[in-house]
Amino acid sequence: MYRAILDAGVGDDVYGEDETVNRLEATAAKLLGKEAGLFLSSATQANLAAMLAHNARGEEILLGDQYHIFVSEAGGASVLGGIVMHPLPTDEFGALALPQVLAAIKEDDPHHPVTRTLALENTVSGRVQDPEQHRQLIEAVREQGLKAHLDGARLMNAAVALNLPAADIVATFDSVMLCLSKGLGAPVGAMLCGSTGFIRTARRLRKMLGGGMRQAGVIAACGLYALDNNIARLADDHERAQQLADGISTIEELPVKCFTNMVFIEPRDSDLEPLRIHLQERRILIGRQNPPLRLVTHLDIDDEGIDRVVSAIQSYYRLPRK
């Protein structure tokens, strides 16, 4: 990837003249089966541009109450777009229920915001969503005039897990966001794909959001490298996550779940801080989250690393404890 940076041809992307960005946008659009693509500086910015492109002020998005756009993007669609977000219950598999989605679509009445967009996610905290269920949701809301957007930050984990082309999974969506810097391992950037007209609108919005970058080829080269080399290998991350979960499952007091490249452990409250310190002393850092704690595998985690984490967690649970 570093060598790809050295070799990248650059130009001014605000004028559409950066050959590497142009190649990345065309490559992503082809990969996702859409007419056009746009390179943005982050997945959050890409979701925001998509929401602003689909919805005018006072219009409404339906989405899951655990989805990233609702929970983890600082309310950007509402703050910067005057867009209403109607969160719906996300079930234990990360999915929304069709009857609840349909019931949330508002009637044409001056009291209500105008429901405009359904925003879905895949994977949802590692959980792969059923493409058939997404298709049914989208077809049902499209009859009511809604658009469908996919927050596919981790879409490629779903594609690899399902062994399906990403373009098939997202075929019914109007717009798709794909993050280059999560499992795909680029340092920065995300792609937004959709129709030519939608991407033209999103390009103006990207500029408005301060995301028009000039000689962006140096980072686009990383994205191209990631799309060319780092998709199929996500299967290794999934396998290692499973190894990690299997190792932890030998510990009776520590409930564990595994979805694609994510492992969730649920230490008792009294173990949280001591476990974190025990691991830190062995040079293993885990986040200060509320349980369940999320452990994520990625291209910098090898088999030896998994063994080391499993041994360290096991050694903690062998100690005498309160």
Ligand X SMILES: *Cc1c(COP(=O)(O)O)cnc(C)c1O
For binding to ligand X (CB under 6 A), which residues are involved?
Answer: 42-44, 47, 68, 121, 151, 153-154, 179, 181-182
CB nearer to ligand X: pick between 43 and 160: 43
80: part of which helix (H) or strand (E)?
helix 76-81
303: part of which helix (H) or strand (E)?
helix 303-318
Q: Where are the beta strands (DSSP E) in the chain?
A: 36-40, 59-64, 84-88, 114-121, 147-152, 175-179, 190-194, 256-259, 262-265, 293-296
**Tell me, what amino acid is at 184?**
L
CB nearer to ligand X: pick between 119 and 313: 119
CB nearer to ligand X: pick between 182 and 276: 182
CB nearer to ligand X: pick between 230 and 313: 230
**Tell me, what amino acid is at 192?**
L
Nearest distance in Å: CB 67, ligand X: 7
3-state secondary structure 205-232: HHHHCCCCCCCCHHHHHHHHHHHHHCCC
Q: What backbone phi and psi angles, to 5 degrees, belong to 77?
A: -60, -40
CB nearer to ligand X: pick between 66 and 249: 66
Half-sphere exposure of 55 (CA within 13 A, CB side): 32
What is the spatial distance between Cα 245 and Cα 295, in angstroms, rounded to a whole number?
A: 10
* Spatial CA neighbour of 97 closest among 60, 141, 150: 141
Burial of residue 139 (number of CB atoms within 10 Å: 0-12, 13-18, 19+): exposed
CB nearer to ligand X: pick between 47 and 129: 47
What is the spatial distance between Cα 231 and Cα 229, in angstroms, rounded to a whole number?
A: 6
Nearest distance in Å: CB 176, ligand X: 12
CB nearer to ligand X: pick between 42 and 78: 42
Nearest distance in Å: CB 312, ligand X: 26
CB nearer to ligand X: pick between 95 and 105: 95
Nearest distance in Å: CB 68, ligand X: 3
Nearest distance in Å: CB 171, ligand X: 20
What is the spatial distance between Cα 51 and Cα 61, in angstroms, rounded to a whole number?
A: 8
Helix, strand or coil, per DSSP, at residue 116: strand
Q: How would DSSP label each residue in 16-72? A: T--HHHHHHHHHHHHHTT-SEEEEES-HHHHHHHHHHHH--TTEEEEEETTSHHHHS
Nearest distance in Å: CB 17, ligand X: 26
Nearest distance in Å: CB 296, ligand X: 10
Nearest distance in Å: CB 11, ligand X: 25
